[in-house]
Structure 1
Amino acid sequence: MGCTLAKPIVDGIENEFQDRLLVLRINIQTADGKELARQYNSLVTPTFILFDEQGQEIYRSIGQIDPQAVRDLVAGSQ
């Protein structure tokens, strides 16, 4: 699943949890985007990473995102 195909799924998750989830989209074609990808060891696009409130990685998916897994994680962080 490419970034374009994942967009509607990510948009839906973002809308569903807009008060509890901050979604950032990184363009790895820019210097800043490449640096962030390097920092987070993201070698393939799309890569989806979720962090908890303390900044700890709690979810990573490469290629496709599992909306239900994200929902469960966000709902569990109430």
Structure 2
Amino acid sequence: MPELKHRLLILLLMLICFSLLLPGCGENTDLTSTSLKQAISNGKPTLAEFGRGVCISCKEMKPILEELSVEYKGELNVVIVEVDDNIDLTRQFGIMMIPTQIFLDSEGEEVFRHIGFYPKEEIIAQLEKMGIE
């Protein structure tokens, strides 16, 4: 029985990895028009979400990220990275599941990472820990 669980876990991980390589049909938003590289280079902290337009949790996160982008304008970069369009970047950041939110400081160094749906209140709490009010 433990061997069966082990095989199922491996199969699940393989399916997740494979799904990251499938082409998506999500719409680009304003938050995707700014590249992560551009965002990091402006010297402000960055919240980057790696996801796909067809992912349910990613769709649920989109309005939250749009609100944060407006509320923290000038203080925080908010970027959505479409994994299908940015495979090398997705690999570089070691993204295994989506959505994944990565918080980067003003130097572009990773401070915190979260996987899955992330409520706005919890994101704000993390931003406050980073000194972003």
Could you tell me which runs of 5 or more consecutive residues in structure 1 were left unpaired when the two chains were aligned.
none
TM-score, normalised to structure 1, is 0.80
Q: What's the TM-score once normalised by structure 2's chain length?
A: 0.51
Percent of aligned pairs sharing the same letter: 26
Query: Which of the two has greater helix per residue?
Result: 2
For residues 1-78 of structure 1, the aligned pairs below 5 Å read 2-30=57-85, 33-75=86-128, 76-77=131-132
Structure 2: tracts of 5 or more residues without a match: 1-55
Q: 1:6 to 1:77 in 2, by over 3 A?
A: closer
Give the paired residue count.
76
Q: Select the structure of larger CA radius of gyration.
A: 2
When residues 37 and 27 of structure 1 are mapped into structure 2, their CA distance, relative to the original with a 3 A threshold, is same
Secondary structure of the corresponding residue to residue 79 of structure 2: coil
CA RMSD of aligned residues (A): 1.8
Q: Secondary structure at the match of 1:13?
A: helix
